A and B are shown apart, each in its own frame.
Chain A
Amino acid sequence: MRIRAFAAVMAATVALPCIVQAADLEVTHWWTSGGEAAAVKELANAFNATGNKWVDGAIAGSGSTARPIMISRITGGDPMGATQFNHGRQAEELVQSGLMRDLTEVAEKGKWKDVIKPASLLDSCTYEGKIYCAPVNIHSWQWLWVSNAAFEKAGVPAPKDWNEFVAAGPKLREAGIQPLAIGSQAFQVNGLFDTLVITVGGKELYEKVYKDKDEEAAAGPEMAKVFAAAVQARELARGNNVQDWNQATNLVITGKAGGQIMGDWAQGEFQQAGQTAGKEYSCLAGLGLNEVLTTGGDAIYFPLLKDEAKAKAQEALAETIVDPKVQVAFNLKKGSVPIRSDIDMAAANDCMKKGIDIIAKGGTATSVDQLLSTDSMKQKEDLMSEFFAKASMTPEAAQERFAEIIGSAD
């Protein structure tokens, strides 16, 4: 009897892994700042709870450092289990050439079409009617983060919109405070500029330029206003010598800078530093001018794998990502808006609630990542980083080149 029981236990140890089909899944991403890492931990814990194992493949730097590494691993035949990309066209060609996994079954089972809002997120994942990625969160760029302490020190009331912020610039400088914090990574100036397009220029202009690629609108007088605002921003940003966006956010947190135009992922940094919205810092959605938020953000893509067990684990991860509980936990830490509207975000702080509110009311626009190819984005980034670094470059010259890029964009 004893021997038989022993044999049964032995058999169970062999058979069990086959039943659960647990697998290690490497997930590559560029969520490396304090707030981001805390959010990833939530996601990893939830995935580990399904019996699989999350192998963290964080790549430091920014998306532009991480994406080439991810893409060369996928095209080079060494795919990871899952990888982050932004909503949009970054993985377009990988999907087209059949390197990515079709998630349509998982999506239908989870009724993604009904729960994921806004629909543009799932549209970005869809190619020829099939779904290739799981949206994780919604991020919007159109936020001005203001340090209340800095304004107090300069003796100016905290601004209610971008125009007041610009007017307060000289006072801030007099008080020895950097008016506008910005790091020197190209995506930061690029994002700042696009934010000015949609807030100062308006949603109509934004769509004409980026969606319809209207060269005339890009060269027109409406756009000239945006470039005039960009010159003001350049003046306010003079004297920055930090690199990463979170270092720039840190200047705002410590009151060394007046404010920063940065996406809502900056929120996570304020939270990590133990600050509360409305007290130590304020947030101005749409720079206080125009309450429209672009719905960019992150999605997880799954490369096509031969390993059965890993493929099952991929499905488990896709389900975990869209799970309501995980959505709440992840997005609270990350400071982003969840991809589904049917969950309770009562624990969110004031800034996040404002964002959720604007999106629920329909004040959304498609993000530039989804509208322009990475090639056109890169050209725009080159132009913007030159324009913001070179004070001698006139807005007219920059606009002329901008119009050219839009004219040839795809």
Chain B
Amino acid sequence: MAQSTPSARPNQLFRNLNSKIASIPMIFVALVIFLGGSIWTIVYSFTNSRLLPRANFVGFDQYERLWASSRWIISIQNLAIYGILSLIFSLVVGFVLAALMDQKIRFENVFRTIFLYPFALSFIVTGLVWQWILNPDFGIQGIVRSLGWETFEFNPIYDADIVIYGILIAGLWQGTGLVMCLMLAGLRGIDEDIWKAARVDGIPMWRTYIFIVIPMMRPVFITTLVIIGAGIVKLYDLVVAQTSGGPGNASEVPAKYVYDYMFQAQNLGQGFAASTMMLVTVAIIIIPWAYLEFGGRKRG
């Protein structure tokens, strides 16, 4: 009988067995779906798969074509502009709003709800709302013109040079509320005594914020950064709803390139190559940062 054999030493593998069993599904998902899926995608990006995956390897052909395609270059540029500006603006605006809310104002709950409300809307709804607001005939431009400023021009959606800023506005409107809430939570976590001490020392409020409070809020900033960063890389539905990549292909983004080539053009190989490039870009940014952030702590 199996249970009668006594084990000489408690097996390392069976320690804390319950929690190990509980985490098996998650480990399985992570390995098979995330890691396995990524590896499969990378491998098939070196094939000439069309509608269905085929293991017919063609080397770097798909990547050469990808980087020669002007639509991909435009997509990357757009993502860079959108990414950098949305990172800066949502952090700055979010923090300023949070700092203002932190001044023990009246109706704080009301304001917080108003600012956070856009975040409850999906990107599709956000995109459609801003498509109308920025529509030259019915939106802001139309209203200002009907008030008497006949030559007023504000038409980002149909102007290829500035269309990405039209998307940026919608993205900020949707996302800043969340950043504000995260920052507000961080500010509330700062000990009252620090403020008192700063006041006793006669340090002006803005300096207290910049030199004392912000460095103390480092973990909150990192969380926020990760959330904003993930939102930037996966930018897709906002563009589809607001401009569908137009005018022409002036507001294309990498995620849309991946979808269009995988499904509309029935060219899986090209889509896989593009998604692999997205993964590589993220890895280039994340790995050194993660190394500094987590590797450093272990040594110290």
Q: Which of A361-410 contact B (CB under 8 A)?
A: 373-375, 377-379, 382, 385-390, 401, 408
**When the two chains form the complex, which single residue of A377, A385, A408 contacts B249, counting CB atoms closer than 8 Å?**
A385
The answer to whether B270 has its CB under 8 Å from any CB of chain A is: yes
Question: Is there contact, CB below 8 Å, between A184 and B247?
Answer: yes
**When the two chains form the complex, which single residue of B50, B136, B158, B249 contacts A382, counting CB atoms closer than 8 Å?**
B249
Question: Is there contact, CB below 8 Å, between B70 and A386?
Answer: yes
Given known contacts A93-B52, A401-B70, A389 and B265 CB-to-CB distance under 8 angstroms: no
Interface centre among A90, A375, A382, A390 (most CB of B within 10 A): A382
Q: Which residues of A contact B160 (CB under 8 A)?
A: 389-390
The answer to whether A13 has its CB under 8 Å from any CB of chain B is: no
**In the complex, what distance in Å separates the CA atom of A9 from the CA atom of B135?**
65
Q: How far is the CB of B255 from chain A (nearest CB, A)?
A: 15
Q: How far is the CB of A218 from chain B (nearest CB, A)?
A: 17
Q: Which residues of A contact B50 (CB under 8 A)?
A: 93, 373, 375
**When the two chains form the complex, which single residue of A93, A389, A401 contacts B247, counting CB atoms closer than 8 Å?**
A389
Q: Which of A57-93 contact B (CB under 8 A)?
A: 64, 67-68, 71-72, 75, 90, 92-93
Q: How far is the CB of A88 from chain B (nearest CB, A)?
A: 12
Given known contacts A377-B265, A378-B267, A389-B160, A97 and B52 CB-to-CB distance under 8 angstroms: yes
Q: How far is the CB of B131 from chain A (nearest CB, A)?
A: 10
Q: How far is the CB of B276 from chain A (nearest CB, A)?
A: 18
**In the complex, what distance in Å separates the CA atom of A389 from the CA atom of B70?**
14
Q: Which of B252-286 contact A (CB under 8 A)?
A: 260-261, 263-267, 270
Q: How many A-B residue pairs have CB under 8 A?
A: 71
The answer to whether B35 has its CB under 8 Å from any CB of chain A is: no
**Closest A-chain residue to B158, C-beta based?**
A241
**In the complex, what distance in Å separates the CA atom of A90 from the CA atom of B266?**
9
**When the two chains form the complex, which single residue of B52, B158, B260 contacts A75, counting CB atoms closer than 8 Å?**
B52
Interface centre among B65, B137, B244 (most CB of A within 10 A): B244
Question: Is there contact, CB below 8 Å, between B261 and A378?
Answer: yes
**In the complex, what distance in Å separates the CA atom of A375 from the CA atom of B69?**
13
The answer to whether B250 has its CB under 8 Å from any CB of chain A is: yes
Q: Which residues of A contact B250 (CB under 8 A)?
A: 386, 389-390
The answer to whether B71 has its CB under 8 Å from any CB of chain A is: yes
Q: Which residues of B contact A92 (CB under 8 A)?
A: 51
Question: Is there contact, CB below 8 Å, between B260 and A389?
Answer: no
Question: Is there contact, CB below 8 Å, between A184 and B246?
Answer: yes
The answer to whether A94 has its CB under 8 Å from any CB of chain B is: yes
Question: Is there contact, CB below 8 Å, between A387 and B248?
Answer: yes
Question: Is there contact, CB below 8 Å, between A71 and B51?
Answer: yes
**Closest B-chain residue to A239, C-beta based?**
B158
**When the two chains form the complex, which single residue of B248, B249, B266 contacts A374, counting CB atoms closer than 8 Å?**
B266
Q: How far is the CB of A39 from chain B (nearest CB, A)?
A: 25
Given known contacts A71-B266, A241-B136, A390 and B248 CB-to-CB distance under 8 angstroms: yes
Question: Is there contact, CB below 8 Å, between A386 and B249?
Answer: yes
**When the two chains form the complex, which single residue of A72, A94, A375, A382 contacts B71, counting CB atoms closer than 8 Å?**
A382
Q: How far is the CB of A315 from chain B (nearest CB, A)?
A: 26
Q: Which residues of A contact B52 (CB under 8 A)?
A: 75, 93, 97
Interface centre among A94, A375, A401 (most CB of B within 10 A): A375
Given known contacts A71-B266, A75-B52, A378 and B260 CB-to-CB distance under 8 angstroms: yes
**Closest A-chain residue to B137, C-beta based?**
A241
Q: Which residues of B contact A97 (CB under 8 A)?
A: 52
Q: Which residues of A contact B136 (CB under 8 A)?
A: 241
Question: Is there contact, CB below 8 Å, between A374 and B71?
Answer: no
**Beta-carbon contacts of B212-235 to A below 8 Å, as 1s and 0s?**
000000000000000000000000
**Closest A-chain residue to B249, C-beta based?**
A386
**Beta-carbon contacts of A116-129 to B below 8 Å, as 1s and 0s?**
00000000000000
**In the complex, what distance in Å separates the CA atom of A71 from the CA atom of B265?**
12
**In the complex, what distance in Å separates the CA atom of A389 from the CA atom of B71?**
13
Question: Is there contact, CB below 8 Å, between A386 and B263?
Answer: no
Interface centre among A75, A377, A390 (most CB of B within 10 A): A390
**Closest A-chain residue to B257, C-beta based?**
A382
Question: Is there contact, CB below 8 Å, between A389 and B248?
Answer: yes
Q: How far is the CB of A339 from chain B (nearest CB, A)?
A: 25
**In the complex, what distance in Å separates the CA atom of A221 from the CA atom of B30?**
57
**In the complex, what distance in Å separates the CA atom of A72 from the CA atom of B51?**
10
Question: Is there contact, CB below 8 Å, between A389 and B264?
Answer: no
Q: Which residues of B contact A374 (CB under 8 A)?
A: 264-267
**Beta-carbon contacts of B189-232 to A below 8 Å, as 1s and 0s?**
00000000000000000000000000000000000000000000
**When the two chains form the complex, which single residue of A68, A75, A386 contacts B264, counting CB atoms closer than 8 Å?**
A68
**In the complex, what distance in Å separates the CA atom of A93 from the CA atom of B265?**
12
**In the complex, what distance in Å separates the CA atom of A377 from the CA atom of B270?**
14
**In the complex, what distance in Å separates the CA atom of A67 from the CA atom of B265?**
10
**In the complex, what distance in Å separates the CA atom of A75 from the CA atom of B268?**
13
Given known contacts A93-B50, A93-B266, A375-B50, A386 and B261 CB-to-CB distance under 8 angstroms: no
**Closest A-chain residue to B135, C-beta based?**
A241
- Known: A68-B264, A90-B266; 10 extra A-B contacts, CB below 8 A, are A64-B264, A71-B51, A241-B135, A241-B158, A374-B266, A375-B267, A377-B265, A386-B249, A386-B250, A389-B249
Some 30 contacts from A to B, beta carbons below 8 A apart, are A64-B264, A67-B264, A68-B264, A71-B51, A71-B263, A72-B263, A75-B51, A75-B52, A90-B266, A92-B51, A93-B51, A241-B135, A241-B136, A241-B137, A241-B158, A243-B244, A374-B264, A374-B265, A375-B265, A375-B270, A377-B265, A378-B261, A382-B69, A382-B249, A386-B250, A389-B160, A389-B247, A389-B248, A389-B250, A390-B160
Q: Which residues of A contact B (CB under 8 A)?
A: 64, 67-68, 71-72, 75, 90, 92-94, 97, 184, 241, 243, 373-375, 377-379, 382, 385-390, 401, 408
Q: Which residues of B contact A (CB under 8 A)?
A: 50-52, 65, 69-71, 135-137, 158, 160, 244, 246-250, 260-261, 263-267, 270
